[in-house]
Amino acid sequence: MNAEIIAVGTEILLGQISNTNAAYLSEQLAALGINVYWQTVVGDNRQRLSQAVQTAEGRSDLVITIGGLGPTDDDLTKEVVADYLKVDLVPNEMAAEKIAAYQKRTGKMLTTNNAKQALMLKGARPLANLNGYAVGDFYANPDGADFVLLPGPPREFKKMVDSALIPILQEQSVNPQLLSSKVMRFFGIGESQLVADLADLIAQQTNPTIAPYAKPAEVTLRITASGSSIREANQLIDEIVSQILARDGDYFYGYGDDNSLAAVVVKDLVDQHLTITAAESLTAGEFQSTLGDVPGVSAVFPGGFVTYANSAKERLLSIPPEIVDQYGVVSETVAIWMAKMAKEKMGTDVAVSFTGVAGPDELEGHSAGTVWIGMAYQNREPQAFLYQFNNGRQQIRDRSVLTGLDLIRREIKKA
């Protein structure tokens, strides 16, 4: 099945927002085995929207519009599609009741415009809007491409895709196979290297499929399989996952779309009853802030130190100024001192430290991107590791933080 996505909204054509909805929907459709050959963006303009609908209907099996279902005069999608398909618009009872209830609760008048949000293509299946008032449509077209109408606000759009559209597409599938997918996350290996390592698996992929995706500083693989049951699909996934882990398991750190290195490290620390602190120079609190993103981190992270200037290394961590003078602030010795003293002062099991050159200027003769990461872990001998990162100040700091997290993850695994 070939689908085409039409995003409707002048704000996209003005560059005020990126078309992230199309990206999300495309990813979901790909996972369902539906090919998306075209994405189009058109403004809130009746004539051009008509033209886009007609073009799409002529070359696709499924046309999905995003946006233009709201209450204002600019919101034209339903009218344009109804005109094109020559079907009427009729009120959807549940959506109309929801709007009426809102009116009652807030005391606002139910204007014609608001009522418009409850209108649907006659004969379409409603797609409930759990985060808003505009109802969506799934219109099985006896004479041509099927039409799906979705709202534009991302919260409404995403919820409707997940809870209403995907189940219908699965059910409508010509070959009613059930789909399952699993995301594998890797750190410390580039996309091209990972793809090269798995070249034969990727080349022969049919079921499961393997989709690599490079994010800043990490790579994910989405493994998607179909089967007559979820269990059967999952077995296919597990087999390929084992093969991938046998090759690149050293870089694999966890599963799941919403996972992160920080979440994995916090979970590992909680599981092992290990507390952690940090002393940060070039990262200036970013490592600790990244830990702070993870709900539940308070069980293992009491706090720590930002020691940007040398004076702070002395004041907060009691590092003798002679040490900094002798070895330089960007040095193995200072990284080890920072980790050791942070651990001691905070009374934690683990401490990590960051000292280096964020740039843009060099420091003490070291170029931007030179970073030492120190690690003090229970009674093990404190160590520090040297890295050379690049691509500018923020990337150097981000990369330092992720590398620190990965060092901890590996250190915990040694236990």
Footprint (CB under 8 A) of a second copy, residues 136-165: none
Stretch that binds a second copy, among 74-82, 257-265, 273-281, 324-332 (CB under 8 A): 273-281
Distance of alpha carbon 292 from the chain centroid: 18
Q: Do the bridges between strand 178-186 and strand 136-139 make them parallel or antiparallel, or are there none, so unpaired?
A: unpaired
Long-range contacts of 298-303 (CB under 8 A, 24+ apart): 299/270, 300/266, 300/269, 300/270, 300/274, 300/275, 300/276, 301/266, 301/269, 301/275, 301/276, 301/277, 302/275, 302/277, 302/346, 302/347, 302/348, 303/277, 303/346
φ and ψ of 94, to 5 deg: -65, -40
Stretch that binds a second copy, among 19-27, 79-87, 118-126, 263-271 (CB under 8 A): 19-27
Q: 369 and 288 in contact (C-beta within 8 Å)?
A: no
Smallest distance, Å, CB 89 to a second copy? 26
Smallest distance, Å, CB 116 to a second copy? 19
Stretch that binds a second copy, among 95-103, 167-175, 251-259, 293-301 (CB under 8 A): 293-301
| Neighbour tally for 189: CB within 10 Å | 15
- Give the one residue of 258, 295, 322, 414 binding a second copy; rule: CB under 8 A: 295
Stretch that binds a second copy, among 171-179, 260-268, 312-320, 405-413 (CB under 8 A): 312-320
Q: Which two tokens stand for residue 144?
A: 């041509």
Interaction of residue 36 with a second copy, rule CB under 8 A: yes
- Give the one residue of 43, 123, 154, 188 binding a second copy; rule: CB under 8 A: 43
Interaction of residue 307 with a second copy, rule CB under 8 A: yes
Interaction of residue 48 with a second copy, rule CB under 8 A: yes
Interaction of residue 37 with a second copy, rule CB under 8 A: yes
Q: 66 and 21 in contact (C-beta within 8 Å)?
A: yes
Interaction of residue 308 with a second copy, rule CB under 8 A: yes
Interaction of residue 56 with a second copy, rule CB under 8 A: no
Q: 149 and 165 in contact (C-beta within 8 Å)?
A: no
In whole angstroms, give the CA distance from residue 323 to residue 357.
Answer: 18
Interaction of residue 54 with a second copy, rule CB under 8 A: no
With contacts defined by CB under 8 A, how many residues of the chain interact with a second copy? Answer: 73
Interaction of residue 45 with a second copy, rule CB under 8 A: yes
| Neighbour tally for 406: CB within 10 Å | 20
Smallest distance, Å, CB 293 to a second copy? 6
| Site string (163-202) toward a second copy, x via CB under 8 A | ----------------------------------------
Q: Which is nearer to a second copy, 19 or 370 (CB)?
A: 19
Smallest distance, Å, CB 285 to a second copy? 3
Per-residue burial over 159-187, b if 16 or more Cβ lie within 10 Å, else e, is bbbeebbbeebeeebeeebbbbbbbbbbb
- Give the one residue of 298, 367, 378, 388 binding a second copy; rule: CB under 8 A: 298
Interaction of residue 216 with a second copy, rule CB under 8 A: no
Distance of alpha carbon 216 from the chain centroid: 11
Q: 203 and 209 in contact (C-beta within 8 Å)?
A: no
Dihedral of the CA atoms 369, 374, 375, 381 (nearest 10)? 140
Interaction of residue 109 with a second copy, rule CB under 8 A: no
Stretch that binds a second copy, among 81-89, 115-123, 251-259, 274-282 (CB under 8 A): 274-282
First to last CA, the chain: 50
